[in-house]
Amino acid sequence: MTMQGQRKLKYAIVGAGMAGILAAIKLKERGEDFTVFEKAAKIGGTWRENRYPGLTCDVPSHAYTYSFEPYAEWRASYATGGEIQTYFEKVVDKYGIGPSIRFNSEVVGLDWDEARHLWTLATADGLREEYDVVIAASGVLHHPRLPEIEGLETFEGPAFHTARWDDTAPIEGARVGLIGSGSTGIQIVTAINKQVERLVHFQRSPQWVMPVPYFTYSEEDREAFRRDPALIDAIRFADEYIGNVRRFTDAITDIDGPKMREIEEVCRVHFEQSIRDPELKEKLRPNYRAACKRLIYSWCYYEEVQHPSVFVETGRIARIEPKGVRMTDGTFHELDTLILATGFQADRFIRPAGVTGGDGVTLDAFWERRPTAHYAVTLPHFPNFFMLNGPTGPVGNFSLIDIAERQWDYVDQLIDLLRSGEASAVAPKPEAHAAYEERRIAAAKKTIFGSGCTSWYLDAEGVPASWPWSYDAFAEAMAKPRLEEYAVIAPVAA
């Protein structure tokens, strides 16, 4: 048995988004010494950076909270980005995390001192400090990917990525171009179609759409939730959410099984029954399997895309000109505003920060082939470095908050080895990680994500960068680290 609390550790948390706030709350509850480094002036991560019209989370609102902090105030079954940002701001206030956050402080370097078992952290604003433990909670989709289209910079009107929304850009009564039909592009169509004069949606690939129930919560509902949070738990843990998560992971890992067939059938019927115009129908018909790309969860896309203001352009873009977009067949779309819903560089994680671990191994070198982490959390050569929502974690349409909480339980048990004084460095053994990755990659290739489409789920070699087993297998893996897979290094002599 190890004795707890013998060693006082110093923790650096990188990022004040959902996962960083979680780590801060957990460490504060234990009375630990931690600092959160946040590159921006506000908390919120994704929910701070994305403000585009129509932004909602595709996880039901009551399932998209910390398990220990249910929220009675959601206005509907799916929450808007603004509501979610407010939720996190309230949580930060309630738990008193604000004073521990260093804002406008981007972490640019992390260097592991092999002799002293400490990380030296450097920020862009010139700080250099030493920490025992680093929690990398720096997010996944935070580096916009701009399309490589000739002439993009020549467009005369506002042209901007969805995560850099320009509030001054003409939308109301304007001719708007929207490039990209991922979750973001689809949500924008549903929000601005009735405001614009014309919306040209440049769609390189059509999407499968899973219909989901949308309903509002009344003030009486919210009052009932305030009085009795058990009502919220009943929604959160009901079959409606957690059952769906299980069915989904069962489906995507058994792609010829009945659950996958059921998802495909629901999407197919929704598509067939919703789109009235035969020409539009052919434009919107995907030629790959449902859920291969991240499945769109929407209650209104098919209806809204049929609004007369919307034109779905499926031709190839030749170039962007000062006044609009030229297609390869010569068609020209004159536009006032151009929105780039072209996604994110999903392989960055904590980078561009330069991270150097043991034996001088850099993160860039370790991830040269693909970003990986042991069970999506730890990395060989990088002791006392723990990732929340790191590479190859679950990417289905379920709550990343739930995933981060489970990952935290795993991380916390590894940190216990450091707290107890039993170890001063802990990292997975390279051979254990290599064996894990081999299993993961073999399984990932067989998931629906690897069934023949492009998406941000795929790494540079086309392998799905995701957890390839069931949700329950993930929960079980996170419940207890396999310590035999870890190199646990005894404290260096003082």
The residue among 13 and 141 lying less far from ligand NA7, judged by its C-beta, is: 141
CB of 340 to ligand NA7, least distance (A): 8
The residue among 339 and 423 lying less far from ligand NA7, judged by its C-beta, is: 339
The residue among 251 and 292 lying less far from ligand NA7, judged by its C-beta, is: 292
Contact between 182 and ligand NA7 by CB under 6 A: the answer reads yes
Token representation of residue 125: 């604003």
Q: Can you tell me the distance from the alpha carbon of 354 to that of 111, in angstroms, rounded to the nearest whole number?
A: 8
Number of residues that bind ligand NA7 (CB under 6 A): 19
In a 10 Å sphere around its CB, with 0-12 CB exposed, 13-18 middle and 19+ buried, how is residue 69 labelled?
A: middle
- Own/partner pairs for 64-68, CB < 8 Å, 24+ apart? 64/399, 64/401, 65/236, 65/401, 66/22, 66/25, 66/91, 66/401, 66/405, 67/236, 67/402, 67/405
Contact between 45 and ligand NA7 by CB under 6 A: the answer reads no
CB of 256 to ligand NA7, least distance (A): 24
The residue among 204 and 446 lying less far from ligand NA7, judged by its C-beta, is: 204
Residue nearest to ligand NA7 (CB): 182
CB of 202 to ligand NA7, least distance (A): 6
The residue among 119 and 344 lying less far from ligand NA7, judged by its C-beta, is: 344
The residue among 249 and 424 lying less far from ligand NA7, judged by its C-beta, is: 249
Among 9, 40, 72, 149, interactor with ligand NA7 by CB under 6 A: 149
CA dist 266 → 141, 214, 282, 287 (Å): 29, 17, 18, 16
Lay out the sheet containing 198-202: strands in order across.
Answer: 159-161, 337-340, 175-179, 198-202, 310-313
∠ CA(306), CA(194), CA(342), 5° rounding?
Answer: 75
Burial 77-103 (b: 16+ CB within 10 A, else e): bbbbbebbbbbbbebbeebebeebbbe
Contact between 19 and ligand NA7 by CB under 6 A: the answer reads no
Residues 417-436 that bind ligand NA7 (CB under 6 A): none
Q: Can you tell me the distance from the alpha carbon of 21 to that of 88, in angstroms, rounded to the nearest whole number?
A: 8
Residues 189-228 that bind ligand NA7 (CB under 6 A): 202, 204-205
Contact between 179 and ligand NA7 by CB under 6 A: the answer reads yes
Token representation of residue 370: 């693909």
The residue among 179 and 423 lying less far from ligand NA7, judged by its C-beta, is: 179
Among 65, 123, 183, 298, interactor with ligand NA7 by CB under 6 A: 183
CB of 145 to ligand NA7, least distance (A): 7
CB of 184 to ligand NA7, least distance (A): 3
Nearest to 380 by CA among 394, 361, 355, 406: 361
Q: Is residue 203 a contact partner of residue 285, using CB atoms and an 8 Å limit?
A: no
Residues 323-362 that bind ligand NA7 (CB under 6 A): 341-343
Token representation of residue 425: 């460095």
Q: Which region among 66-74, 121-129, 181-189, 263-271 touches ligand NA7 (by CB under 6 A)?
A: 181-189
CB of 79 to ligand NA7, least distance (A): 14
The residue among 198 and 294 lying less far from ligand NA7, judged by its C-beta, is: 294
CB of 381 to ligand NA7, least distance (A): 29
Q: Can you tell me the distance from the alpha carbon of 74 to that of 232, in angstroms, rounded to the nearest whole number?
A: 11
The residue among 136 and 141 lying less far from ligand NA7, judged by its C-beta, is: 141
Contact between 294 and ligand NA7 by CB under 6 A: the answer reads yes
The residue among 202 and 241 lying less far from ligand NA7, judged by its C-beta, is: 202
Token representation of residue 72: 């009675």
Residues 105-144 that bind ligand NA7 (CB under 6 A): 141
Residues 437-456 that bind ligand NA7 (CB under 6 A): 454, 456
Q: Can you tell me the distance from the alpha carbon of 419 to that of 31, in angstroms, rounded to the nearest whole number?
A: 12
CB of 187 to ligand NA7, least distance (A): 8
Among 53, 70, 109, 147, interactor with ligand NA7 by CB under 6 A: 147
Q: How many CB atoms neighbour CB 149 within 10 A?
A: 17
CA dist 132 → 27, 121, 386, 426, 445 (Å): 14, 10, 12, 11, 37
The residue among 342 and 399 lying less far from ligand NA7, judged by its C-beta, is: 342
Give the DSSP letter of residue 317: E
Q: Can you tell me the distance from the alpha carbon of 144 to that of 242, in angstroms, rounded to the nearest whole number?
A: 31
The contacts of residue 359 (CB under 8 Å, 6+ apart) are: 114, 381
DSSP characters over 422-446: S-SEEEE-HHHHHHHHHHHHHHHHT
Site residues, ligand NA7 (CB under 6 A): 141, 147, 149, 179-185, 202, 204-205, 294, 341-343, 454, 456
